[in-house]
Amino acid sequence: MSLDLFAKGLSDPTMRASVLAEAVPYVARFRGKKIVVKAGGHSLTDPKVTEDFISDVFLMHTLGMKPVVVHGGGPQITEWLTKLGLGAEFKNGHRVTDAASLEVTRMVLVGKVNRDIVSGINKHAPVALGISGEDVGLLTVVQRDPELGFVGDITEVNASLIDRLLAEGLIPVVATIGSDRTGQSWNINADLGASALAAAVGAHKLIYLTDVPGIFRDLSNPTSLISQTSPEELEAIIADGSISTGMLPKAEGSLRAVRQGVMSAHIVDGSLPHALLVELLTDAGVGTMISQLKEDNP
């Protein structure tokens, strides 16, 4: 049956009612749970993917979950650096960030990508609040590596800000710019930022939306997708060096989050229709799931 025919069926209220009656209780197990969703900058370049993502986040909120959105913005930053005649250089997957490019990075992340997500959600209902890691000391950092310039590693998360916003019924949308004690801003890898936030707020799930199906045991073998793994196994796979550069911070972020109490971390292809919702609607899950207990995790 095609999705079109299906959609036609749904125009009948009785059928809509049947679907709701079956599906809602299924996702109701996540009611009141904090779920950190990290959307990559690549996903946010496709309007349809962005719209699905925003509509799914809002639906999670409507169904009583407590989503926290963390976003990247790599392609967008590169685009504006180029417009301004500034180059983009990377080392080990991290953008080398001098003062000029930090300024642009912050403007693009906080003043553009973040804003677009916030406005998109607020079109449904005014519940999204955009914040940066600089707000109220949310993300405190130290320099990661002098060679990378203004790239920071998180040393402290002010989780209470997120908790207070969630308690007010809001959806925090977080740009991963941090600050140090001197008030200096720092760029933070959004994958690691999402992981640190998920651990600090005691999230139930951490979901990475990316543009590949998940982690592969063998990068050259498309049938080797790992659908579920434990932190121990994942650590071994990382040590093997069989994880791609782009996937590495997601893998490490998943590992840290689960080790610090997050029930499960998920790496999912965000370009699938309603990828986020589908993840929540399936027992087996889609993409790769990292969790403490292989069998029993909801």
Cα-based distances in Å from 245 to 65, 130, 161: 32, 29, 32
Count of residues interacting with its own copies (CB under 8 A): 82
C-beta closer to its own copies: residue 96 or 129: 129
Tokens representing 174? Answer: 């977080």
Among 183, 220, 222, 240, the residue binding its own copies under the rule CB under 8 A is: 183
Per the residue annotation, which of 41, 178, 285, 287 is the catalytic one?
Answer: 41
The whole-angstrom separation of Cα 189 and Cα 98 is 15
Shorter beta-carbon distance to its own copies: residue 82 or 92: 82
Told to check if 35 binds its own copies by CB under 8 A, we report no
Q: Per CB under 8 A, which region of 113-121, 215-223, 251-259, 263-271 contacts its own copies? A: 113-121
Q: Which of 43, 132, 187, 229 binds its own copies (CB under 8 A)?
A: 132
Residue 5 touches its own copies, criterion: CB under 8 A? yes
103 binds its own copies (CB under 8 A): yes
Of 34, 66, 205, 250, catalytic: 250
CA neighbor of 153 nearest in space, from 126, 189, 116, 183? 189
Single out the residue of 122, 228, 230, 297 in contact with its own copies (rule: CB under 8 A).
122
What is the CB neighbour count within 10 angstroms for residue 227? Answer: 13
Site residues for its own copies, 80-99, by CB under 8 A, read 83-84
Nearer to its own copies, 146 or 183 (CB): 183
Instruction: At 196, list the tokens.
Output: 């640190």
Residues 159, 226, 248, 272: which binds its own copies (CB under 8 A)?
272
CA 215/CA 47 separation, integer angstroms: 25
Whether 250 is a known active-site residue: answer yes
Would you count residue 55 as binding its own copies (CB under 8 A)? Answer: yes
Beta strands in 124-193 (DSSP E): 128-132, 139-143, 152-157, 171-175, 177-179, 185-187
Does residue 74 carry a catalytic annotation? yes
Q: What residue type is assigned to position 138 of the chain?
A: L
CB of 230 to its own copies, least distance (A): 24
| Whether 111 is catalytic | no
Catalytically annotated residue among 40, 72, 73, 74: 74
The CB density around residue 188, as the number of other CB atoms within 10 Å, is 26
| CA dihedral sign, ordered 119, 266, 204, 135 | negative
Per CB under 8 A, 278 contacts its own copies: yes
Q: What's the closest the beta carbon of residue 277 comes to its own copies, in angstroms?
A: 4
Torsion of CA 71, 62, 207, 273, to 10 degrees: -90
46 is catalytic: no
Which amino acid, 235?
E
Spatial distance between the Cα atoms of 273 and 49, rounded to a whole number of angstroms: 7
The residue ranges of DSSP E strands in 125-164, in sequence order, are: 128-132, 139-143, 152-157
- Closest contact distance (angstroms) between CB of 247 and its own copies is 24
Choose one: 119-127, 142-150, 236-244, 258-266; the region binding its own copies (CB under 8 A). 119-127
* Catalytic positions, written as ranges: 38, 41, 74, 191, 250
